[in-house]
Chains A and B, each alone.
Chain A
Amino acid sequence: MTLIEVADTPDALDALLAERGWGDGLPIVAPTPERVDAMLGALGDVDPDEVVATLPPRFGEATRRIIAVNAVMAGCAPEHLPVVISAVRALARPEVNLRGVNATTHCVAPLLIVHGEAARRGGYNGGTGAFGPGNRANATTGRAVRLVLLHVAGAVPGPGDASTQGGPAKYTYCVAEHIDATPWQGYAASVGVDAPSAVTVHCGEGPHNVHDMESSEPEAILDKVASAMATMGHNNVVISQGEFFLALCPEHAATIASAGWSRRDVQSYVFQRARLPAGRVRAAFQSRAWEPWMHAVPDDDLLPVTAHPDHIRVFVCGGAGKHSSVIPSWGMTKSVTLPVEP
């Protein structure tokens, strides 16, 4: 671990970051050995120098200590560090395709969804204004993961991140699942992660709003969801493995569930409704990474915007009001949910 001598002033710290090409443009907390040790103290009896993941495109080694350094810089509290580490571990899974996520011209950023005890203990917000701003846990955990991607993975705009326009989600992108307002099984358990705490990473766009103030039927709400999904502008329309995270607000979720609909019913209905004329998509895109059966759909028929209902992932977050959101993936990536472990 390299230690650097720097004057203890904000200006000196800013100058060092600028000189080294570090940081996200916002002020940081100085990662002194004392602060990093205090951060690592939250982990218990684990090796701080074990490599948790090797992150492309730089192939930097993310040890617990290096992740803690970035968590300090982001402003995390020690209880947030296990979530940051688990998110980094998830991002390194091959199905995430982190090299592509980091290097693409697309605006993709990893959304972190925190589940269970870790969300409660860490003070993560899954209620009003969950996507921000105003909550330290959400803001700093998402920022810590971004700093790891910038510093360790080398996803620096230009040499390591070719994103044409970038995106605000690349600063921080973290919410909690609102488990108390979830009328179904919690999301993590629904995808087979039966742990007290878990974190999901989903590499996608920013949230696309779905506004429905008046409907009392599931179909009417979910038709608007399907409308937000069935657009020509996101990658998934030509990449059939793409996923859509559907962040239902509690009131929409309650309306849907009170009609007896399960999460599976929501996935199936939206899969049936989020469709575009096949010929229109073919005319617009030469390159299409579709399942073989999708290539056989006649031009006049409607084609789903993803290959399977399982690619539509449903969780609940938000407060009072009737705004949900759809978060399309980058395309060549799959979400991962892992237990929160140090």
Chain B
Amino acid sequence: MQIYAPDGAVGPPSSLRQPGRPVLTGLRIGVLDNAKPNARLVMERAASQIAARTGATVTLVTDKGPGHNAATACSDEVLDRLQKEVDLVITGSAD
């Protein structure tokens, strides 16, 4: 017999991913804390170690904004700051 596959097509991506930066020297690193316990500690350590190894600088550490947490995107204000003030962001995804 024949049956239909139950998964269907995948829709178009809602946004395009920025290409990776080949060299980090001189870039500004931001840390976006997703508010999970110890996330900021781990990500700040990772950011400072990347900065030490590559010559980048950690210039911004922020949470996602009032009322935002690991289950949501950050606020528009925080996104705007990240876009203006840093070249790459370390964050925790999902939950």
Contacts and interface: CB of A to CB of B under 8 A. Distances in A.
A33 B10 contact: no
Contact of B71 (A33, A73, A100, A286): A100
A8 B1 contact: yes
Interface in B65-95: 66-69, 71-72, 94-95
Contact of B37 (A20, A33, A51, A286): A286
Contact of A61 (B9, B66, B72): B9
A151 interface: yes
Contacts of B1: 5-8, 30, 32
Contact of A5 (B2, B8, B11): B2
A292 B66 contact: yes
A61 B6 CA distance: 11
Contacts of A323: none
- Give the interface centre of B5, B35, B94 by most chain A CB atoms within 10 Å: B5
Interface in A262-285: none
Interface in B1-36: 1-11, 13-14, 35-36
A66 interface: yes
B54 to A, nearest CB: 31
Contacts of A65: 4
A31 to B, nearest CB: 5
Contacts of A100: 71-72, 94-95
Interface stretch (A79-87, A103-111, A175-183): A103-111
Interface residues of A, number: 47
Interface residues of B, number: 24
Contacts of A43: none
B4 A2 contact: yes
Nearest to A36: B4
B71 A97 contact: yes
Interface stretch (A52-60, A188-196, A221-229, A310-318): A52-60
A289 B94 contact: no
Interface in A85-101: 97, 100
A151 B11 contact: no
B34 to A, nearest CB: 9
A236 to B, nearest CB: 13
Nearest to B35: A287
Given A100-B71, A106-B95, A3 B11 contact: no
A61 B4 CA distance: 15
B2 to A, nearest CB: 5
A31 B3 CA distance: 5
Contact of A62 (B8, B36, B68, B95): B8
A103 B71 CA distance: 9
- Give the interface centre of B1, B7, B11, B36 by most chain A CB atoms within 10 Å: B7
B63 to A, nearest CB: 10
Contacts of B3: 3-4, 6, 13, 30-32
B11 A54 contact: yes
Contacts of B9: 60-61
B32 to A, nearest CB: 15
20 contacts: A1-B8, A2-B4, A5-B2, A6-B3, A8-B1, A13-B3, A22-B6, A22-B7, A30-B1, A54-B11, A59-B14, A60-B7, A60-B9, A63-B8, A65-B4, A69-B5, A73-B6, A97-B72, A151-B7, A287-B36
Given A239-B69, A287-B37, 15 more contacts: A1-B8, A7-B1, A31-B6, A59-B11, A60-B10, A61-B11, A65-B4, A100-B94, A104-B94, A104-B95, A105-B95, A147-B6, A151-B6, A151-B7, A289-B67
